[in-house]
Amino acid sequence: MSEIVVLGAGPAGAAVALGLKRLGYGVRVISEWRRFAAVEGVSQRVLDGLRQAGLQQALACAAAPSPRRVLWNGDGQSINQESLLDRPRFDAAIREDLREAGIEVLEARVLKVESTDDGHLIQIEAGEPLRADFLVEARGRQAPLAGGRLRGPETLSLLNQWQESPGRPGSAVESLRDGWAWMARLEDGRCYWQITLDARDLPPKDQLPDYCAQRRAESTLVRELFGESALHPASLHARSSTAILFHEASGANWLRVGDAAMAVDPLSGNGIFQSLSSALQAPAVINTMLQRPERTDLARRFHQRRVEHLFLRFARTGRDFYALEQRWPDQPFWRDRRIWPDAEPMHAAADFSRVRVARAPVIHDDQIDEAEVVVTADQPLGIWHLQGVELAPIINALRRGDLDRALATLPESQRRMVQGWLLAQGYRP
């Protein structure tokens, strides 16, 4: 059985490791632990993704939904909810999920990876080199930036943290003339504020704490959510938030997942979800490459297309949200981001003339196979099944004029579902 090493113990790396373990593979995870405190606000679909990945301990770390205030384009009436995740506690819970599954987790800094067609030699700090037949790169934005890639506007986030008295948790996001800020207060009084800006024209590093304190002092939302201590300099961590898509997310014996394959702008608010989205398909891809080497090209094409599709969906989500801010159209920060990555709509309008049947890679029984799928304007990768009903035979029957006969073979509930889907694609009998 092949020895697989996963570099990185974040949500993406853990999801891949758990999936491979369920398939019977020997898996080892190597990861450095987070060196700074952080908190994230996540939606219900992030929690659903953690549950699907089997990260139960990590899921339990999510706080109950708390109110989030949104002040965008001068409109402060939008209020919704998000669950706050204490990242150090969340990361520790992920490691516990891995250990409970019988996966070895090694805390170590990777110094160098030497790769050949025969495998990988992983040099780690203060330890003997490790060997792997297959390597999963899941170290997020810290993964080596080898190979061609698409980069969005260069963006930097400055995260500040300080302590206040315990109180009611909450979070907020607001647009600014030259960027935007997200802030959160945990129930135990830990406070976080992050400003995201164009990476150009920032003050010198030693001036950033005072600069951030000055920016907080200008915010009405900061004064509503925090106490006076928010107006003073605080501990600071700077990190890149530039959107990046790798043009080569796999090789003959390695695979990139999560932020190591595609890292999106944090404005989408779904960083963990997009990491999980690319990781949940990875065990089937790896299983195919190892068990059915003749399908390696098919499996790699499946992974690359899915990664690119997910990236563009999230990038366009961020673009459209940036476009909602209309007060500073000539400011470089807003001007550049409201038109990137392209002008394509987030969701293409239904057009039945564009519905067609094509052969494409799909996940089938924990491996990548090829099947007839239905390609639509909004689903360019194709749809194989609709809640258990294979769609290609339906479309083929419709083209032959035998739709009624094909639908008659389905139970009434499935027949109505398929008819509704056809109508949603623009089909008119």
Q: What is the secondary structure of 133-196 as a DSSP string?
A: SEEEE--GGGS---S-EEE-S-EEEEEEEEE------EEEEEEETTEEEEEEE-TTSEEEEEEE
What pLDDT does residue 161 have?
A: 97
User: Contact, 24 vs 105, CB < 8 A?
Assistant: no
Distance CA 166, CA 164 (A): 7
Report phi then psi at 292, rounded to 5.
-130, 70
Record the pTM.
Answer: 0.94
Q: What is the secondary structure of 286-353 as a DSSP string?
A: HHHHHH-GGGHHHHHHHHHHHHHHHHHHHHHHHHHHHHT--S-TTSHHHHHHTS-S-S--SSPPP-GG
DSSP code of residue 383: B
User: How would you write the pLDDT of the chain (429 residues) with one tens digit per residue?
Assistant: 679 999 999 999 999 999 999 999 999 999 988 777 888 888 888 899 999 999 999 999 998 888 889 999 998 866 678 899 999 999 999 999 999 999 999 999 999 999 999 999 999 998 889 999 999 999 998 888 677 889 999 999 999 999 999 998 999 999 999 999 999 999 999 999 999 999 987 999 999 999 999 999 999 999 999 999 999 999 999 999 999 999 999 999 999 999 999 998 888 667 788 889 889 999 999 999 999 999 999 999 999 999 999 999 999 999 999 999 999 999 999 999 999 999 999 999 999 999 999 999 999 999 999 999 999 999 999 999 999 999 999 999 999 999 999 999 999 999 999 999 999 999 998
Distance CA 329, CA 225 (A): 28
What pLDDT does residue 78 have?
A: 63
Give me the torsion for CA of 251, 244, 54, 7, rounded to 10°. 50
Domains of the chain (ranges, CATH numbers): 3-62+84-149+242-337 (3.50.50.60), 155-240 (3.30.70), 352-424 (no CATH)
What pLDDT does residue 152 have?
A: 95
What pLDDT does residue 268 have?
A: 63
User: Which of 164, 408, 406, 134 lies closest to 282 in space, CA to CA?
Assistant: 134
The b/e string for 63-77 (b: 16+ C-beta within 10 A; e otherwise) is bebbebbbbbeeeee
What pLDDT does residue 79 have?
A: 67
User: Contact, 403 vs 428, CB < 8 A?
Assistant: no
Cβ contacts of 143 within 8 Å, gap of 6 or more: 7, 8, 137, 256, 259, 260
